[in-house]
Amino acid sequence: MRLHVLQSDIPKPERFTYPFCYEPHPLCILAAEEVKREIERIQPSEGKMFGVLVVEVKQRDGSFVTSPGVTKEPSLCYMAAYSGLLEGRNDWPYFVPPVFDAQQHDGYFKQTEREISIMSHHSPLTSKKMSQDLQLWLFHQYRMLNARGEEKDLVDIWQDYHCSPRIRRRYPLPPGGTGDCCAPKLLQYAYQHDLKPLCMAEFWWGPPPKSEVRHHGQFYPACRGKCKPVLTWMLQGLDVDPSPDAHGFPHLAVEIVWEDETIAVLNKPSGMLSIPGRTEDYSIATWAQQRWPGSQPAHRLDMWTSGIILVAKTQEAYHHLQRQFEEHTIKKRYLAVVEGTPKAEHGIIDLPLLCDPINRPRQVVDYEHGKRAITEYRVLTPPNLLALWPHTGRTHQLRMHCAHPDGLGCPIKGDELYGRKADRLYLQAQAISFVHPITGRKMHFELPNEFDNITHY
């Protein structure tokens, strides 16, 4: 039984979920609670991403119900899916089937896999070529539908989405496992059975993977690397919530903490970019350019991180500050409000980080290929307020070091990537020390604690 009746008077959403940034609709939360009971019955041995899709079922006359209570026929139902395999299987009756079943023992895929395994001992080059051909064949078997009833295979979807020649050369084919995540499975099943998708959500269940930050029971957006091209195609024909990025961001006020003829010390508000983004050009860089033509930020802060950022007004000052950052002589202190309390009052976190190439901008812990990242921390008062000193400057370093189980295991409050959403990211670049690029004087700037007036962290 893949379609499950959802008994609820909760109003339906006006538009379908934008899967890459959303708040779970109450109908999805209700459906997820039922799915969790089924997962507990199975008791999987590993952590896994699960998804729910709430759909509307056509009535006998071929129409969809527009108002609750006008029919006794079940109108709202939900389906569930898991990413990849669950306990080595893809045929659990409660969940939707895969888009294409490559696990059949006597199927072409498994038979060719066995041939390749035998061939690898005798002719590695031939084995590699066979493996590449098999992967290409597999991608062609995933024929994905959209809400208009149109169909494309994964290769065409991928190449149409990545129209840039540079990206095509680097990623000519989708990553392995594309099409096997929750969202594509759920939408494919809905389209195949003439069901109307209403809302969707995905959540993690079980222990976290070693490299990533995932919290048991927490909802997450769809992955961008594998799923963004596929879902962009599959959602065509649905009325979907707009991407938050498409709205742009408010033009927030920037405080000048201190300036002279060559540098400026600014207080960047949370929610403002350091440099222009893909869809938004208002940033610290453009703000500074309007006031001091030729200026540019000497470093960056994440959009949702507030606090001190240095701007060089001349090329000489910029290159001098860049050398100081490269030599790690500039010292910065951050304040962060975290979820939970670290076990030790003071310590050093040393976890190597690597960008997840198929799910940017997320970072993963990678002891083989990652770059070394070191953070010093101290617990302040109250005990979930921390001072953080980054000894290196990796992307998302503080956020990952706080959230990862091998770090503090305490995500920064409001961290949508590695923790839970809140009104903002509770991370402030509070203090900085550096040498003035022209005068050679030692400079130190410190902002008031932005979180000092918050009574409940």
Can you spell out the DSSP letters for 59-108? Answer: -TTSPPP-STTS-SS--EEEEEEESS-BTTBS--TTSPPPSS----TTSH
Helices (H) and strands (E) counted in the chain, each on its own, are 10, 19
Rounded Cα gap, residues 157 and 238, in angstroms: 17
Rounded Cα gap, residues 94 and 112, in angstroms: 30
The active-site residue, picked from 153, 302, 356, 452, is 302
**Element containing residue 309 per DSSP (H, E):** strand 306-312
Catalytic residue status for 302: yes
The SS3 call for residue 32 is helix
Surface-to-core class of residue 184, CB atoms within 10 Å of its CB (0-12 exposed, 13-18 middle, 19+ buried): buried
Residues 400, 408: contact at Cβ < 8 Å?
no
Rounded Cα gap, residues 235 and 225, in angstroms: 16
Give the other-Cβ count within 10 Å of 261's Cβ.
10
The residues assigned a catalytic role are 302
